Structure 1
Amino acid sequence: MKSMFALALAAACALALAGCTSSQAEPPPPSIGPLGLEQIPWEGGPEYWKQFPRADAAGWDDPSFFPIVAWYNGISSQEEVDFDKALGINTYIGMPASFDAAWLDSNGLYWIGGAINGTFNASTPSWVGYILDDEVDGRFEPEAGREHLAQLSSEVPEGLFKYANFTYMVLENDMAASDSQKYVNGYTDVVSVDKYWYTIPHCAAEPYRDVSLVPIKQESCRTASSYGQTMDALRQRDAQDGKLQPLWQFVENMGGTDNEAAFDGYIGAGPLRGAVMNSVIHEARGILYFNQALSGPCKGGNVFRMAQVHVGYCGARQVDAARIVNNQIHQLAQVINTQSLAFEFNARADTMLKVHQGHAYVFAMPVPGAEPGQLQLQLPEGISGRTVEVLFEDRQIPVENGAFVDSFDHEYSYHVYKVKL
């Protein structure tokens, strides 16, 4: 089996206008992990954060830590802190100018951004990273955008990691591949893009036009699988320079469009959970929530806080769905933070395989375009367990002839399985 990193690099090189250098064309040979399976190339997991003194000191290298970020929020009381922590939020980008970093410092929470006031300084334990900017590729011509990012990057305080978010343009073929590659690889230690598949007008456009690096068919556009395909495309861009960085994923917790005329509804509770989990299956190392509803009947600048303070809030189901999937991720962080293994359980199953402390963990969803229903999942050789535990669902499934069968009722349905080696 060819290395997934090699495949990603080959795809990236084929799309690059300038091609690849000889050193880029020779990726490292695949490594073999547990069960004799090829390991999925990664940036290093928790160990990656050791190179950034502020994140390292804050415990980001702890295998039980997984960043889940609220995009623009506000904290003014311990009750608000406790609410956010119960949701599984542990990191923030965007706060009002009056915000006191002590709320984060005393509660084991983290900040990615600039020094918004005097409470943020070199001794602030919660201050771990710096966001260079948001959607530079959508607001600048490429050369000007690169100059802008280079200037911002030079101003980042010592010890902080650098993060930037881009639009989906860097994962499309309309922008020159060389420009996209430079954006993704030139300035950051962590990178993300935003594309809110469930709620943006794009999926319903007629005629439908897709120029994605990883093609998105219209019939499966507005599904959880599109979030995972976004991660695949971003990894292709990220691999183009021969080294990897953590990739994070944006998911809307209500809506992703600010165009009132184009509003077509909010993300559902099940799709929200599916979008997050499909991103994790496709190697997302962090989740960011677009925490605003800018169109439709349920507008608000801080969805999470509105769910706390308004009884009967119209986004309560979505916020509770975020709570559920976030806390599932936190419970499984030590598993998720291990290197994945390459294995095909079923051609119609979108899966991630981990091995941790004597057990195999299988994360599974339907592939893009698959009809909901039953799937048989064939286990790799070397697994001795006769039953599979379905985590978070209080049930077990027998293993017969090295395989088991389960139902996936919706395109966004996911299950996490645990089986003894």
Structure 2
Amino acid sequence: MKPPEAVLRKFRHVASRLPKRSWMSAGVILFAFACTVLLMSSHAATPTANYEVEAGTRSGNAGLASDSGASGGTAVKFGGSATGSDPLNLPLDPWWTGGNNFYKQFPAADAYGWSDPSFFPVVAFATNGDHADEVANMNNLGINTIITGAYDHTALKANHISVISEDYAPPATATDVVAYYLDDEGDGKYDNGYGDMNISGSGANESFSCATSTGCGFTETVYLNSKKRSGSTNVLSPFTNALTNGGGRMRYNGYTGGIIGGETKYAPFINDNLPATQRINSTTSVSVDSSYVGKKFQDIIGADRYWYEFSNILCPGSIYKTAGYEPDILNCPRASAYGRNVDNMRRMDSLDGAYQPLASDVELGCNESGGTPCISLGGIGGAMWSSTIHGGMMAFYFPNYGYQCNGSTWSGGYNPVRYCNATTTMGSLLKNLNTQFRTLAPVLNSPTLMYNSYQDTDDGNAATIDRSNYSSAGYTESKFNKNLDTMLKWYDGSYYLFSMINVNANPGSYQFTLPAGLNASSVQVLYDNDDMPGTASSRTIPVNGGAFTDSFAHEYTSHIYKITPT
């Protein structure tokens, strides 16, 4: 995270029949049959490949559709808007990246279970995994992925926790390492641009700075894709290939206000493809591994703008708002603003039509500088679900500078993910919340259905919003109720509706208008999340006249419903 004075720099995917003519046709058929037998008999000696097309990057008019007969539950559809197999045949969200199918293209992640529909990444940033007792506790709290440079691979594998590794040369037995960590907040530290970059130190101790007033953030990110940063390895040594030689691993990169701010000058961080070579400065150029050339800067993305922790900087009356950013966010801080983070990232990612899984980070404590402002316990759950409702494909915690286990005392550098067991206030909060993500993983991995309209669009300048231009690049407005943020899924014969009030709505009761043709006598409430993330709910709500009503006690309250058509 950045100190307050740096915040303003941070705001910136044949059938043809055989003719029946004469006895010669019989000869043709017999000849074809003989050839087929010969081909089949030699098949075992023929190299074969098995590739899930839906797991690859899509562009143009290609989309994904639910298909229970397909190997991964989805199939590629060309032309028009892809639709789910739900009874209403609603269009799919074009940005949906394929859920668990996305990870099939990375052998390490695939082998470790990321492509399983029952897996949803629950990630703790900057969380060491080098003590067996702490690793076991993380697993009990529902954490299944950590970003770290300290490991006990035996303990991590025993608890089936994945690692996004700062070590680019892990042991060959480290099957828990599913991805490499590139950097955090490069857009904030180095701004946008391919300017020259200074390098100091080597290996794990190297540091960067822009050589001129021109931003060098793009240069730095290309550089990180061209080298190895393990131990004292020479600074320009070849990068361990994360797609082949490195064990088929993904690449993770973290961003901040440049990407989340929505200004398109930062779009190359998400949309540019890696070049074969890159000038670093007047004396140095690097080559990118051939397996990376033409690929994105990274495969999965997390980004931070902590609306609670930095509310004194981000909210009305602050220097951020005075500068004109996010003018339509009037109520602040709000859990639903974390969904706006994802909206801005999605809009940036959509510019080239090739999409990547991403999520908004959520803090677990207070401002590192002075201890205030802080996120509330209810705000943690609200922010996590807001990110997910808006399309986040990971549950992503920033646990440092967190609350101690009692959930009220703040301590600089304290990490509740490591230290708080499930009997404590913070441990119970995390376990309840993560149980929801893990229980609902098959639903979250299913296609997102479009039941919203577009409200407004950003013209590329984060300080202005064009409300007259409604297009697929804009913010969405729920058709269930324009004051709500919602996400709709179809899974195993039922609709699943995730909901909370939007960034400018007030707590209270709201009516949900169901899509035309969706007939149901009641809705089942799966989870109520309020001051503390809840356990499973037993509530049902009647449907009258194609609508139902529920209340939201706080700005961070969220509800998850199951609707089974009658």
> Fold conserved (TM > 0.5)?
yes
Q: Which residue of 2 aligns with 1:184?
A: 270
Partners in 1 of 2:313 and 2:102 — Cα distance? 35
Q: CA deviation at 1:351?
A: 0.5
Q: 1:292 aligns with which of 378, 385, 400?
A: 400
Residue segments in structure 1 that go unaligned for 5+ positions in a row: 1-14, 16-23
Q: Distance in 1 between matches of 2:325 and 2:114?
A: 31
Contact 1:214 1:232 in 2 (8 A): no
Which residue pairs with 1:254 in the alignment?
A: 365
Q: Residue 146 and residue 76 in structure 1: after superposition, are their counterparts in 2 closer, same or farther (change >3 A)?
A: closer
Given the alignment of the two structures, is residue 130 of structure 1 paired with residue 174 of structure 2, yes or no? no
Q: Answer whether contact 1:181 1:238 (CA < 8 A) is retained.
A: yes
1:37 aligns to 2:90 (yes or no): yes
Query: What amino acid sits opposite 1:91 in the alignment?
Result: T
- Paired residue for 1:114? 166
> Equivalent residue of 1:361, what SS?
strand
The offset of 1:67, in angstroms, is 0.6
Shift of the 273–91 alpha-carbon distance from structure 1 to 2, 3 Å rule, reads same
Cα distance 1:213–1:29, how it changes in 2: closer, same or farther (>3 A)? farther
Alignment of 1:148-187 (within 5 A): 148-154=220-226, 155-157=239-241, 158=244, 159-172=248-261, 177-178=264-265, 180-186=266-272, 187=297
- Name the structure 2 match of 1:362: 497
Whether 2:380 is the aligned partner of 1:272: answer: yes
The answer on whether the counterparts of 1:277 and 1:414 sit within 8 Å (CA) in structure 2 is: yes
Q: 1:122 to 1:77 in 2, by over 3 A?
A: closer
Mark the CA change 1:61 to 1:212 in structure 2 (over 3 Å): closer, same or farther.
Answer: farther
Aligned counterpart for 1:52 among listed residues 106, 131, 138: 106
Note closer, same or farther for the CA distance 1:212–1:150 as it changes in structure 2 (3 Å cut).
farther
Q: For residues 131 and 36 of structure 1, do their structure 2 counterparts lie closer, same or farther at Cα, with a shift above 3 Å needed?
A: same
Asked whether the equivalents of residues 378 and 556 of structure 2 are also in contact (C-alpha less than 8 Å), the reply is yes
The count of residues paired between Structure 1 and Structure 2 equals 385
Is 2:424 the counterpart of 1:303? no
Q: Match for residue 6 of structure 1?
A: none
Distance in 1 separating the partners of 2:308 and 2:439:
26
Q: Retained in 2: the 8 A contact 1:38–1:341?
A: yes
Instruction: Give the Cα–Cα distance (whole angstroms) in 2 for the partners of residues 163 and 297 of structure 1.
Output: 29
2:166–2:181 Cα contact (<8 Å) kept:
yes
CA 1:335–1:284 in 2, change beyond 3 Å: closer, same or farther? same
Q: Determine the structure 1 residue equivalent to 2:444.
A: 336
CA offset at residue 287 of structure 1?
1.9
Query: How far did residue 217 of structure 1 move?
Result: 4.3
Structure 1 residue 214, shift from structure 2 partner: 8.5
Q: Amino acid of the residue matched to residue 237 of structure 1? A: M
CA distance 1:53–1:212, change in 2 (3 Å): farther
Structure with more contact order per residue of length (Cα contacts < 8 Å, sep ≥ 6): 1
Query: Which of structures 1 and 2 has the bigger CA Rg?
Result: 2
Instruction: Provide the rounded CA distance (Å) in 2 between the counterparts of 1:336 and 1:214.
Output: 31
1:114 alignment partner AA: E
Q: Distance in 2 between matches of 1:54 and 1:249?
A: 24
Question: Mean alpha-carbon deviation: is it higher for 198-207 or for 275-284?
Answer: 198-207
State the Cα distance separating 1:397 from its structure 2 match: 0.6
Following TM superposition, by how much is the alpha carbon of 1:77 offset from its aligned partner in structure 2, in angstroms?
Answer: 4.7
Structure 2 counterpart of 1:215: 326
State the alpha-carbon separation in 2 of the partners of residues 81 and 207 from structure 1.
Answer: 40
Q: Any gaps of 5 or more consecutive residues in structure 2?
A: 1-11, 13-58, 63-78, 195-215, 227-238, 273-296, 404-408, 452-478, 527-535
Equivalent position amino acid for 2:186 in 1: V
Deviation at 1:219, TM superposition (A): 3.3
Local SS of the residue matching 2:361: strand
RMSD: 2.7
Q: For residue 84 of structure 1, report the CA deviation from its aligned partner.
A: 0.8
What is the CA distance between 1:207 and its match in structure 2? 4.5
Work out whether 1:85 is the aligned partner of 2:139.
yes
1:46/1:61 contact within 8 Å kept: yes
What is the CA deviation profile of residues 216-247 of structure 1, one whole-angstrom value per residue up to 9, with x for unaligned ones? Answer: 64532310110001100000111111110101
Counterpart residue type for residue 108 of structure 1: H
Among 118, 128, 139, the alignment partner of 1:64 is: 118
Give the distance between the partners of 1:25 and 1:105, measured in 2 at CA: 40
Task: Tell which deviates more after alignment, 203-212 or 333-342.
Answer: 203-212
1:342: how far off?
A: 1.3
CA distance in structure 2 between the partners assigned to 1:358 and 1:407 by the alignment: 26
Larger mean CA deviation between 135-144 and 236-245 belongs to 135-144
* Cα displacement (A) at 1:53: 1.1
What SS class does the counterpart of residue 183 from structure 1 fall into? Answer: helix
| Change in CA separation of 1:292 and 1:207 when aligned onto 2, cut-off 3 Å | closer
Query: How far apart are the structure 1 equivalents of 2:323 and 2:176?
Result: 37
Partners of 1:214 and 1:341 in 2: CA distance: 30
Change (3 A) 1:294 1:56: closer
SS in structure 2 at match of 1:329: helix
Distance 1:37 1:398 in 2: 23
Aligned to 1:352, the other structure's residue is in SS state strand
Structure 2 length-normalised TM: 0.63
Q: CA shift at 1:114, angstroms? A: 3.4
Deviations 1:317-348 (A, max 9, x none): 44432322111111111001111111111111
Q: Would the alpha carbon gap of residues 26 and 267 (structure 1) be closer, same or farther in structure 2, given more than 3 Å must change?
A: same
Letter in 1 for 2:412: K
Structure 1 partner of 2:43: none
One-letter amino acid of the structure 1 residue matched with residue 419 of structure 2: M
2:305 aligns with 195
The answer (yes or no) to whether the contact 1:254–1:291 under 8 Å persists in 2 is yes
TM-score of the pair, normalised by structure 1: 0.84
Cα distance in 2 between the residues matched to 1:340 and 1:211 = 36
Q: Percent identity?
A: 33
User: What whole-Å deviation, never above 9, does each CA across 1:113-133 have from its counterpart, x for those lacking one?
Assistant: 23377xx23442101101111
| Distance in 1, Cα, partners of 2:124 & 2:547 | 39
